[in-house]
Amino acid sequence: MIAHRSVRDQVYEALKEQIIALTILPGTALSENEMAIQFAVSRTPIRESFVRLAQEGLVQVLPQRGTLVSLIDRELVEEARFMRNQLESAVVELACESIAQDTVVQLELNLQQQKLVLQQEIVDQMFKLDQQFHALLFAGVHKTNTWNTMSLLTAHLDRSRKLRLLDNYDWRQIYMQHIEILEAIKKHDAKTAKAIMHEHIARGKDDMAALHEKYPHYFV
């Protein structure tokens, strides 16, 4: 944990990361006492973190039942996918007009890392690199605040994407689409970049029915 960050923020971010990464599964009961022991903190930052996570729809505080990790809401998944499609298409269009050169270098490095972890099948790291790739695109056109705001509303989508990765480790097409998006940006080809991004974001929609059928206890 980072010393200059508040304990409350550190606990909240660690819990959120575990929920989105499916380290803590949908429907899991969360105990303030157990979490306090796990993080070696008092119950207060745990309780405050639960409140913030509830506001984001990641946990539910239920009378007589305590705090549970929310099930993945398929309607929220599709709403988040719609939002990402609109915003990310706009961002790649901006990137084709002008993107910071140091961001292009970072994107290329990210792709090199993606290739490596794909070969090694490191699921968690591939998921993080995928997120980082998209965050870099927003940063490269000075839209980091847009990315941060959007990320608050895409947690259910992010969990469904992670579940797909865990269920079937085949992200080669996604990796190749990342390469194609960056190449289109370098060529200032907005039409191609937007088309690939649209396909890229929409790709997981076809997987939802299969995931729901296989893991019905994770969805609502």
Q: How many residues are there in the chain?
A: 220
Percent of the chain scoring above 90 in pLDDT: 75
pLDDT digits (tens, 9 = 90+) for 154-183: 999 999 989 988 887 668 888 999 999 999
Q: What pTM was computed for the model? A: 0.88
Distance CA 135, CA 21 (A): 17
Q: Which of 207, 208, 177 is nearest to 88 (CA)?
A: 177
What CATH architecture does domain 7-69 belong to? Orthogonal Bundle (1.10)
What CATH number does the domain located at 74-218 have?
1.20.120.530
The stretches of 21-42 forming alpha helices (DSSP H) are 32-39
Q: Would you list the domain boundaries of the chain?
A: 7-69, 74-218
Q: Which of 105, 135, 124, 127 is nearest to 175 (CA)?
A: 127
Residue 55's SS3 state is helix
How does pLDDT run along the chain (220 residues), one tens digit per residue? Answer: 444 468 889 999 999 999 999 999 999 999 999 999 999 999 999 999 999 999 989 999 888 778 999 999 999 999 999 999 999 999 999 999 999 999 999 999 999 999 999 988 888 899 999 999 999 999 999 999 999 999 989 999 999 989 988 887 668 888 999 999 999 999 999 999 999 999 999 877 777 888 888 999 999 9
pLDDT at 124: 86
